[in-house]
A and B are shown apart, each in its own frame.
Chain A
């Protein structure tokens, strides 16, 4: 008898130990995947925050720019910088053949004449003088400098020619290549050239979409939740509505995209590719999430508080607005933020309503065409250039940072405004 009990006891201990081991391994596995994922993104992405510049001496020769003497501001604005810019690059190797000159031109971004122009507009007294100007290196050389480009490939499999590498190495030796913080990644819109592509357009697009989504989804969802939870009679019809709200929360997001495409664009003719349409579509998706969160936190308000208010002679409306709703707000708000965070990471519905279009302007309002961060990731991930590989990871980092900040905010709201009741 005693022995039997001992056996039972030991097996109980063993069962608990086994269970703890399983639990710990599960957590370890989850953390491992997360670490690999984050490490991968950071290790490919961090270089995108650096940009390579070639420092090239430019001789601002009035004749090459077809400028008269004492040019006005407008003249400088309208002057032809292309020949000057070309000449600047050709000067790097005076004995270059025509093909090599073409290579030289392609060592910098196609934007380079504008960089030279900006330099002169900033300081018109430079005419006739020579100055070192920072020019954005082409994305291939940028990758070479960052060590992401395999130089040992045979030349015909590389986008960088041996000649370009030779000149580039000379420049490096002369200290004429510099790596600086890549501000343009945050201030430029998308571009076909990896070295010039930035997230400004998609970032603003995401912000506008989220704002539209918040403005529409929050009031509608909160009002619906309050009515359903506090005022609506409990009958079959409201049960039916409740079931369908829960179903709506489980509908795949691409279905909402089809809805946006079929109704907002086709019937109402709202402007395509805009954060307005994106935001409305996302708000349909966020609506059930907020309704469910709001109802849950209304339910969590103890009935004793409602009874206390009613017994004081507060009307149903006063009880709800003075007591129940304020007490449910922390839960509702953090539910809202989590719903918005979901919407922020949503790609499929935005692709359907056209926010996948190539947009190289920064939107100033929700009515301007824009991309969004997750769609930007998708667009870049499809591009062939090596320069976009690091940009994809960098964009993911920005999106993750955005999400972490939002979730942190949700936590803070929950902790700060949560009230304890007896």
Chain B
């Protein structure tokens, strides 16, 4: 979305380095993410794109040996600063994982968990509303409205992934991070999720890591290409796919390696 013709930058990363123990996984990443756009991160396996994604909601904190350097600024605030509370951060920045991972609880409880721990609903009615809206936004409501109190793990793979998306948007995050959300799904479920991503970008800024060139081309407005821990090139998806500046980008996109 443009305001007065100027693109709004939602996330601004400056000189981000990531180390796993002594091994450096990301080298000096400078990437700006535009608001209410879909940004795709592409690159061969092990290139650091997922690592970068996990920096954005500090999920790398979970890994003991992982250290992150540099600044990641969201809403004028450096999330790597000591004063940043990860719980508040992750409320604002949701995440959808590669494999659908619903809680082994009912569909309703899966959605209501986030709003409950963040105290977003004052009454049962309010909670019902949040659950319904989240499921509607995730295009799952029609399929599950009659069995909200059945286990979420009983759904099909594609439905489970949409449940996870509904769970992520239930707390109204500003940014949604998606780590290869379709890699475990069949083409039909993939198409449904892609449609959904397009819909969600109205309200959320989306960053998606994907292995599929075609998917990046279909869903994203911006693309960043990672290789061996470096951000080789980034820009609008059109430009990256049709007219890449870097040789390596061109080779990867045309399928010569990776």
Contact = CB atoms under 8 A, between A and B. Distances in A.
Question: Which residue, B88, B89, B90, B91, has most C-beta atoms of chain A within 10 A?
Answer: B90
Contacts of A421: 104, 153
Contact of B103 (A234, A310, A323): A323
B178 to A, nearest CB: 11
Contact of A305 (B87, B104, B117): B104
A313 interface: yes
Interface in A306-324: 306-315, 318, 322-323
A304 B101 contact: yes
B153 A312 contact: no
Interface of B: 57, 59, 62, 64, 87-91, 94-95, 97, 99-104, 113-114, 117-118, 151, 153, 157, 160, 164, 167-168, 171
A2 interface: no
Nearest to A312: B114
Interface of A: 233-234, 302, 304-315, 318, 322-323, 327, 419-422
Contacts of B113: 309, 312, 314, 322
5 contacts: A308-B103, A308-B164, A311-B94, A313-B118, A315-B87
Given A312-B114, A327-B104, 19 more contacts: A304-B97, A304-B99, A307-B59, A308-B103, A308-B164, A310-B59, A311-B59, A312-B90, A312-B94, A312-B113, A313-B87, A313-B91, A315-B87, A419-B151, A419-B153, A421-B153, A422-B101, A422-B153, A422-B157
A251 B165 CA distance: 50
Identify the 10 closest CB pairs spanning chains A and B, nearest first.
A304-B101, A311-B95, A313-B90, A313-B91, A419-B104, A312-B114, A308-B101, A421-B104, A313-B87, A422-B153
Contacts of A327: 104
Contacts of B157: 422
Given A307-B59, A308-B97, A421-B153, A313 B103 contact: no
B53 to A, nearest CB: 11
A299 to B, nearest CB: 15
B117 A318 contact: yes
A323 B171 CA distance: 18
A239 to B, nearest CB: 14
Contacts of B103: 305, 308-309, 323
